[in-house]
């Protein structure tokens, strides 16, 4: 079931973003915040805001948000690469 977030008109007008870009920018900010707090994975956060993983990585970098990379990720990557 989709969740609808309502942003009051007054708040939307206060945003320092051109009106046509507001929804997309809000989704990027939400996705970055949820990723930073480890509420969403990298892939799901990118999917939430409709960006490719490459572009989402740039969005994180622009905000100085570090990528999460845990020991289990290293083990999975090594196993995938055949380095076990």
Nearest-angstrom CA–CA distance, 82 and 50 = 32
Q: Which helix (H) or strand (E) holds 11?
A: helix 9-14
Would you give the distance in Å from CA 74 to the centre of its chain?
Answer: 21
Q: What angle do CA 68, 74, 76 make, to 5 degrees?
A: 110
pLDDT value at residue 83: 61
Nearest-angstrom CA–CA distance, 67 and 15 = 27
Q: Which residues of the chain have pLDDT under 50?
A: none
pTM: 0.80
Token digits of residue 11: 């708040």
């Amino acid at each position: 079931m989709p969740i609808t977030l309502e942003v009051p008109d007054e708040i939307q007008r206060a945003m320092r973003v051109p009106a046509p870009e507001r929804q997309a920018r809000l989704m990027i900010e939400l996705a970055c915040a949820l990723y930073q707090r480890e509420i969403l994975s990298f892939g799901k956060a990118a999917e939430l805001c409709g960006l490719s993983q490459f572009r989402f990585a740039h969005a994180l970098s622009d905000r100085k948000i570090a990528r999460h990379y845990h020991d289990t990720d290293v083990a999975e990557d090594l196993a995938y690469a055949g380095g076990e």
